Structure 1
């Protein structure tokens, strides 16, 4: 199909310009390299070249990329939306679902339609400011950087953008939660028992008790949510979960090797029964939302001012066991035996019967505390 506007020669060999439909200039490049002819590639769209000189200077860079086995001349969209979704395509299901949710809610309305080279610091600040106004945690705001960083880095390396504006805008971070006693009225034991008993009577859609069993493992075994959702029936032997390294945050590099063991309480074993494959079908996001709903609508926790800013969520179950068991077992022991905190001695001893007996002793002590009759809050 014939072009509406003609190519106009420039003073740079192999570089021509064309006026696009909006009246702007784009630079079209043709050159030969190692017996191949590269015809009419739009270096403005590919590499954001805004002058004929920039397009000319890009040619040796492209040749070097070709020598390295790269394919820098493949035309792809530079719109944020498609770049984000393409980058998430090969990620694990949980990360992909959570990131897509964050993108749709916070990023897409502001820059999802924009080409990456047109995203400004002002745009990114607007995303952050909107999230801050909603009272979202720094760790939640930080997810914006996690999602956008790979595509901005790649665009910068390819020369599509000259400056990685994402690096210029602070975007969340890690914020240590205040201690439980700083957020809640009443004793830690009473609050833990309250949550535990609300989980026991949790009513679910069509009597599906999957959320209940997930929350019980979170409360009673203090496991991370992502790790709970990776449990298979094959991992459970005589009521004990044999934890594969690949399912953990701490020991992922150990692959399918068993790195820890912990017992499941009778409340969980009664619900899950026996089977094959993965025990749970829910995703992280639905579990987070359901737990939040239970805490806010069912538990009637008496929160202090800091408890309003840092509400109780599933990860706080790890704080409960640490607070209630440290005096008897020691903080370091609770961390290594129950919380999957990295410990060389734990890795060396995890298979020893004496080590597992310590794990079992700690959990049975904690379970007795949770099952004892709570005081009215």
Structure 2
């Protein structure tokens, strides 16, 4: 009598429950006179059943071993490999800022791509794989949807130039129109100067906790009166301030254009700048909180 599908066992292949409650398909096998130690096929290749592991072993792994390739090497050129290589290269070439673009791409990759796709070779990634990811993030906006194409498209293009793949499934992904911020002129009838005056007045009304007051107020004045990017201002150090010349020099490594910027010190910030001896100019302010600071300032200016 034939065994039921669920009763079929595969030599050397077992299902193990891990300490975190997840299950893993573990494989131990001998091939071409060599015995291979226990391998986690779920972690390495995304196998979720013993049959998948059996098929993977016999249809791909053994074939690679016969060709002298090591399918278990951490440097196997799967998507993880190509993403991490591009990630490092773009930072080195200063094409991605490490604290913004690179950080956002890495976060997206880790959250949505690494587990379902990272272990796969580029030639094994299909449009259906990418569509499945898009379905899993259907609750997010256009920016998140476009991240998938932005990350994958250049990786596949380079692989095609090298002759490693014949198709680019990422090129089939639709680019979603990202919502643009409404212009201020559409949101209010007040002219720009009136708006700036109101915000300036609001800085004096802002009452954060006492230990943060001088630092935050100086930062808000600097942001308002110089119109520089808030991330850039947070990276300024006391060494970038030349009070004797009434000058701030944002060094090239912290500006978006990769050029030094020279601009005057607002009078409202001088007293605070004098109180900082060295190091970060705003050591207690964090990038992720700036939007909250600005929203509070906006509410005080109405």
Give secondary structure in 2 for the equivalent of 1:23: helix
Quote the residue 1:78 is aligned against: 78
Cα contact 2:77–2:121 (8 A) shared by 1: no
Cα contact 2:117–2:125 (8 A) shared by 1: no
- Structure-2 separation of matches of 1:298 and 1:204: 15
- Structure-2 separation of matches of 1:150 and 1:88: 12
- Structure-1 separation of matches of 2:281 and 2:222: 12
String of CA shifts for 1:305-326, please: whole Å, max 9, x gaps: xxxxxxxxxxxxxxxxxxxxxx
1:20 and 1:110, CA in 2 relative to 1: closer, same or farther beyond 3 A? closer
1:207 and 1:153, CA in 2 relative to 1: closer, same or farther beyond 3 A? same
Match of 1:4 among 11, 30, 33: 30
Pairing 1:36-185 to 2, within 5 Å after superposition: 40-41=68-69, 75-76=75-76, 78-80=78-80, 84-85=83-84, 87-89=86-88, 91=91, 93-95=98-100, 96-104=102-110, 107-108=112-113, 111=116, 115-117=120-122, 118-125=124-131, 133-135=139-141, 138=143, 142-157=146-161, 161-172=165-176, 177-184=181-188
String of CA shifts for 1:225-252, please: whole Å, max 9, x gaps: 34323433333222311243443333x2
Q: Does 1:227 align with 2:232?
A: yes
Pairing 1:350-361 to 2, within 5 Å after superposition: none
Cα contact 1:231–1:278 (8 A) shared by 2: yes
Q: CA deviation at 1:104?
A: 4.5
Cα contact 1:116–1:161 (8 A) shared by 2: no
Instruction: Structure 2: state its 5+ residue gaps.
Output: 1-27, 34-50, 92-96
1:120 and 1:20, CA in 2 relative to 1: closer, same or farther beyond 3 A? closer
1:28 and 1:77, CA in 2 relative to 1: closer, same or farther beyond 3 A? closer
Quote the residue 1:23 is aligned against: 55
Quote the residue 2:242 is aligned against: 237
Give secondary structure in 2 for the equivalent of 1:271: helix
- Structure-1 separation of matches of 2:209 and 2:226: 21
Alpha-carbon RMSD across the aligned residues, in angstroms, is 4.4
Cα contact 2:126–2:169 (8 A) shared by 1: yes
- Structure-1 separation of matches of 2:165 and 2:284: 39
- Structure-1 separation of matches of 2:269 and 2:296: 23
Instruction: Structure 1: state its 5+ residue gaps.
Output: 8-18, 31-38, 47-72, 302-373
1:109 and 1:182, CA in 2 relative to 1: closer, same or farther beyond 3 A? farther
- Structure-2 separation of matches of 1:179 and 1:203: 29
Aligned residues: 242
TM-score (normalizing by structure 2): 0.58
Q: CA deviation at 1:221?
A: 0.6
- Structure-1 separation of matches of 2:210 and 2:77: 42
